[in-house]
Structure 1
């Protein structure tokens, strides 16, 4: 009875590992294991290079978009500033304050008579 249980548990543990022919071939000898290790590392290095290249491309695209956005913002700010300056000059030419009231410019001293 104990032998039956051990054979059942032994079978269960090997089937849970899902051994394939490739895994078995890698564990045949030390040289085969080393060859499989190198193959995995080579694939990992190639994947890392691909990921690094993709990351670099993404960062360059983001930097380009950021610079375009900043340039657009600067242009928009300059355009708004010019519009405000034009409105100020127009108001000054008509002697109208920002509240819409008329005012007069006086330069120098203003003499007021005392009563």
Structure 2
């Protein structure tokens, strides 16, 4: 949950931040995609391939950070993960993962293979 929260906060636009400041008279919290990546990766290490939304958001974060090869890996894993509960509940994540994978076809993924991500 913490990784997802960090992702959503980092994803706030300038306009959304200004609206929050006007409505609540305080600055909204800040976070970064790097912070979200660390938390989501830790959750994945603790329980590998066990939670579809975590894999999907991890793929989104990798995409935002420019780690296209990793993004492709996690999004494909999200597509192939079998769920024990109602499949309709997770259909949104699968459809979004498919559309993101289509976007990833336009990116060069070879460069990322040359260096390893440092956390």
TM-score, normalised on structure 2? 0.19
More helix by share: 1
Q: Which has more radius of gyration?
A: 1
- Point out which structure has higher relative CO (alpha carbons under 8 A, 6+ apart): 2
TM-score, normalised on structure 1? 0.19
